[in-house]
Structure 1
Amino acid sequence: RRVYLQARRPSSVLRTAFSGPHSQAPGFLNTAPLLAGGLTASSGQFQDLFCETQPSVCPFTGLAADTPELRVKEGSKIRNLLRFALSRMEGNPRGGAEEDEGRQRSHAPCQQMVVTASGKGVSKAISCAEIVKRRVKGLHQLTRLLHSTVVEVWEPLEPAAGLDSLNVSRKLPAVWILLSREPLDSSQPGYQAPGHYDGLWAPPAGREDSREVRSQRQGFSASF
């Protein structure tokens, strides 16, 4: 009986929270900016006017004008990203999201490529860069961690209430990855030499030992 009452308690909390003149969702449901007096921008007195994203600036200088830039989004498909990236690095007409099938043509492999993403697309950009390094050997890597800014403007629903508009800015993590056939400055932070990606995928030492013991046991049992 006690467990049942505790399970039904959040519904009463929701009814109480939404019943007042300044009704608002509980704290664990709030995703809007917190205002003075415990209110939020989504408390029924403000509306989201528009949202603007200010991307970070490419930190790599001295790049060629035709250096391709692969911008990875949260909803991007890895197979489309890899098709575009490998077509530029290998020089094969694989096509991609930016190319129509009727306009595909072979071209010289590019010497450098930039991969960038922000927010929830960072992990997908890192995965794409690692896969490209495994397909195209001898690539130098340089990584920079920055942030992009998201600006939200909230307007009051009732201007006569005396509430001012709100400008809320949030920072999202961003990553910039430079893949280059040409050697890069190894003294810069974030540099990774060709062929060093194996260390990222190597299993722990304990797992290696367990595999050796397991293989020895299998060979011992097979001999009998």
Structure 2
Amino acid sequence: MMHYKKGKNVEEELTRENIPIECLPADYLWMHVKGGTKVSNVLEFAKKTLDNGEHRSIVWSGSGGGVGKTISCAEILKRNYPIHQVTRLCYRKVEEYWEPQMPGLEEIVATRQIPCIHILTTLDELDKTILGYQDSKTKTSLWIEREAKPRGQQRNSQPGGSGENKKKFRQGQGQGSKQNRKSKHQKDQSKDNSRNAPEKMET
């Protein structure tokens, strides 16, 4: 590609019309989450919307670097509300244009497929047979793993991590120091006795 220069990017936009969820309600709040989105801010806005009754359904959409944050928003919301959820995965097309820098070369268009996720979270009941359905009691493996390991457990499992382990560790150090001092004292006393002993006289 040394004879080409990077040109424009043409990205397929995320819109309400291309959300691939067949059970979308007539009225819902659409939250487009990006890689730079602050999760706490969008969650606060979403909670206010549910609390004041303005909306009962929220659709979270994200692509590329925003996929992880989109999932986090939906999962955190499920921990605070009796949410019914439907998830859909798809791809968004991005075309990269490369302009030739030498005569005789043609323009190159590279097409990439960026992963996208759309998550419907609603307070209204949904058909449980819909593909990708989850209720508020269903958690992803990420949350299950975090809840299975209490905070600080990993530190306490190491030597000297908990208070009891630290106490035993210090006691062991103290006993070792006493034994070392006793052994050293015995050696010094043995040397002193050797010096003070009467010399053997030859007859």
TM band (smaller chain): 0.5 to 0.7
Aligned to 1:51: 9
Query: Alpha-carbon deviations, 1:8-65, whole Å to 9, x = none?
Result: xxxxxxxxxxxxxxxxxxxxxxxxxxxxxxxx2xx2x211221011145201235345
Identity in percent: 33
Aligned partners of 2:55, 2:22: CA distance in 1, in Å?
17
Gap change, CA 1:200 and 1:48, over 3 Å in 2:
closer
Aligned partners of 1:121, 1:76: CA distance in 2, in Å?
8
Structure 2 residue runs of 5 or longer lacking an equivalent are 158-163, 165-203
Amino acid at match of 1:188: I
Aligned to 2:36: 75
Given candidates 132, 154, 157, the residue that maps to 2:101 is 157
Aligned to 2:178: none
TM (norm. structure 1) is 0.60
Whether 1:115 and 2:60 are equivalent positions in the alignment is: yes
Structure 1 residue runs of 5 or longer lacking an equivalent are 1-39, 92-107, 219-224
Aligned partners of 1:64, 1:203: CA distance in 2, in Å?
33
**Secondary structure at the residue paired with 1:145?**
strand
Query: Alpha-carbon deviations, 1:92-123, whole Å to 9, x = none?
Result: xxxxxxxxxxxxxxxx2412110010011100
Aligned partners of 2:70, 2:107: CA distance in 1, in Å?
36
Whether 1:128 and 2:70 are equivalent positions in the alignment is: no
Aligned partners of 2:117, 2:55: CA distance in 1, in Å?
21
Aligned to 2:22: 61
How many residue pairs align between the two structures? 152
The structure with the larger Rg is 2
Whether 1:196 and 2:196 are equivalent positions in the alignment is: no
Q: Is the 8 A contact 2:8 2:96 kept in 1?
A: yes
Q: Is the 8 A contact 2:85 2:121 kept in 1?
A: yes
Whether 1:142 and 2:86 are equivalent positions in the alignment is: yes
Runs of 4+ in 1 over 6 A off after TM superposition: none
Amino acid at match of 2:8: F
TM (norm. structure 2) is 0.65
Aligned partners of 1:188, 1:49: CA distance in 2, in Å?
42
Deviation at 1:198, TM superposition (A): 7.8
Aligned partners of 1:149, 1:69: CA distance in 2, in Å?
21
Aligned partners of 2:133, 2:141: CA distance in 1, in Å?
14
Aligned partners of 1:172, 1:199: CA distance in 2, in Å?
24
Q: Is the 8 A contact 2:79 2:136 kept in 1?
A: no
Aligned partners of 2:30, 2:75: CA distance in 1, in Å?
16
